[in-house]
Chain A
Amino acid sequence: MNKKLIYLDNNATTPCDPRVVEAMVPYFYQHPGNAASRNHPFGWAAEEAVDYAREQIANLIHVDPKEIIFTSGATESDNLAIKGVFEMYSRKGNHIITLTTEHKAVLDTCQKIEKMGGEVTYLEVDREGRVNLDDLEAAIKDNTILVSIMWANNETGVIQDMKAIGDICARHGVLLMSDATQVVGKIPVNPKEVGIHLMAFTGHKMYGPKGVGALFVNRKKPRVKVTAQLDGGGHERGMRSGTLNVPGIVGFGKAAEIAAQEMEKDTERLSKLRDKLEKALCERLEEVYINGSVEHRMPHVTNLSFKHVEGEGLMMTFNQNIAVSSGSACTSASLEPSYVLIALGLGDDLAHSSIRFSLGRFTTEEEVDDAIEALVQGVNHMRDLSPIWEMYKEGVDIDSIEWAEH
């Protein structure tokens, strides 16, 4: 029996909105020009389309269109921001502050910075997944040039207090960069209002196409510059060379326009569905834990640990038709459980038992209902198989057992 496929992994990527695809299609064939071709109608049409998309995106985040640099995605934007600032401001200092719970696109870039002679402080987060503001302020030194803190975490959906962070950075004259991949197009985002100078985001997390992203670079007060990481034709005000992905950018722009119009409605609907999912699972199953702050959290995300059930095994009970993701080591090549959940103070066992549900614009209530049933069945199946669940039910203190080296 083929069950209907249910997609609850929207933090990994979102499907394109059909309206986005519709907007993109003419730019594959009817308008094939290169946006940098200044001397014929094909080039003009492409440039006009890119300019329009730049406005749509700028409007969504309340910045000047000139402050949008198109890239291939958030990973490139993170790299450009961090490496670009490190190079551009080398005379001012070489110290960068970030969090242990950042995305690998930031963490691995920071490690590269250390190899290049930079100094990086990785701040811990609290049990809620949020940075302690006093810790942040205390970490700022004379040679600090950049603070890089993600707006909301991809695994837990936990939102940082960006306004307070921005205030601290402003007070110390340090640039603030934010990986806003998970928030742009989902909740209201205004980098200037909170004091962010550079902000990375991408099309494919907001119902746009993959392979196109952007970096917001503040142009006035202060005028921020980044050293290009790709050399070539000097596109994007010299900060990012390479022929622009015109159809992708058109789609990204359309996605931004739709998000600006429908964000509020989506948020209201999705938070209700998310709460329904969470409540049902917590009520119908024992020993379910919500990971990360419940108060400061994206409306469409919940990250739950089902104690004494291994996440990948649990996923196998329903992954023929339901897509979610797990912090279990078994789902990663490294065999280590999620470093984000470990940073929240979860034991390895609860990290192995975690499932992230991320809902999206096309998630229906019926799908959520089906997912609840599948999860309840799956967790019960796995607990029937679990020796540690049996011990727990018999009152054995699992932590007191001396487990064999493994």
Chain B
Amino acid sequence: MAYSDKVLDHFKNPRNVGTLDKSKNNVGTGLVGAPECGDVMRLQIEVDDETGTIKDAKFKTFGCGSAIASSSLATEWLKGKSVDEALEIDNMDIVEELALPPVKIHCSVLAEDAIKSAIADYQQKNGIAVSEKAQASGHH
């Protein structure tokens, strides 16, 4: 299977790899997938308390090239977005941007789940009612 240039680019030069401080209240962490399934994504967002926008996003992913590219792309897209805007990111946007083949669509689904799970974590930590869209995470 040949990978798209965009997948290869994200895989070789992953953006925003790393770890944010989980103990901070304005950091939300999403950990989705399972080692037994061959992919685990951890995606974190740091929300600016004043503006409510996502000022930083980091990820680490155990998985194939498409999973790594999907999460790398997701962190790029998250930065600068409001939480509500972030919830609008759809897995099919990732599929389209990275030209993922049908067998790799689950990688994009996992990335969308990771975003929602991170937002839900952030909202819970801050006593904000978890958005309906963020609750949808983890089910596919």
Contacts and interface: CB of A to CB of B under 8 A. Distances in A.
A is bound by B: yes
Interface of A: 308-310, 312-313, 316, 328-330, 333, 335, 337, 347-349, 352, 382, 384-390, 398, 403-406
Interface string B3-16: 10000100100100
B138 A404 contact: yes
Nearest to A310: B63
Nearest to A404: B138
Contact of A313 (B8, B68, B110): B68
Nearest to A350: B35
What is the predominant secondary structure among interface residues of chain A facing chain B? helix
Nearest to A320: B8
B53 interface: no
Contacts of B37: 329, 348, 406
Interface in B37-60: 37-42, 60
Contacts of A310: 38-39, 62-64, 67
Given A387-B41, A387-B60, A389-B62, A348 B36 contact: yes
A386 B42 CA distance: 9
B35 A352 contact: yes
Given A403-B33, A406-B34, A386 B61 contact: yes
A398 B42 CA distance: 14
Interface in B62-100: 62-65, 67-68
Interface of B: 3, 8, 11, 14, 17, 19, 31-42, 60-65, 67-68, 103, 106, 110, 113, 138-140
A405 B64 contact: no
B36 A312 contact: no
A405 B38 contact: no
A278 B32 CA distance: 33
A347 B38 contact: no
B35 A328 contact: no
Given A313-B68, A405-B138, A385 B14 contact: yes
B34 A404 contact: yes
B26 to A, nearest CB: 20
Contact of A347 (B3, B36, B68): B36
Nearest to B113: A404
Contact of A403 (B34, B61, B106): B34
A312 B65 contact: yes
Contacts of B42: 387
Nearest to B65: A316
Contact of B17 (A385, A398, A406): A385
A401 B22 CA distance: 17
| Most A Cβ at <10 Å: residue of B3, B35, B64 | B35
A352 B3 CA distance: 19
A388 B36 CA distance: 12
A313 B138 CA distance: 23
Given A310-B38, A384-B17, A386-B60, A404 B33 contact: yes
A108 B82 CA distance: 53
A403 B31 CA distance: 8
A348 B35 contact: yes
Given A348-B35, A385-B14, A398-B35, A312 B41 contact: no
B38 A387 contact: no
Contacts of A349: 35-36
Contact of B35 (A313, A384, A388): A388
A403 B36 contact: yes
Contacts of A309: 62
Given A310-B67, A398-B35, 13 more contacts: A313-B11, A313-B67, A313-B68, A348-B35, A352-B38, A385-B17, A385-B60, A386-B40, A389-B62, A403-B33, A406-B32, A406-B37, A406-B39
B38 A330 contact: yes
B64 A312 contact: yes
Nearest to B60: A387
B11 A316 contact: yes
A389 B34 CA distance: 13
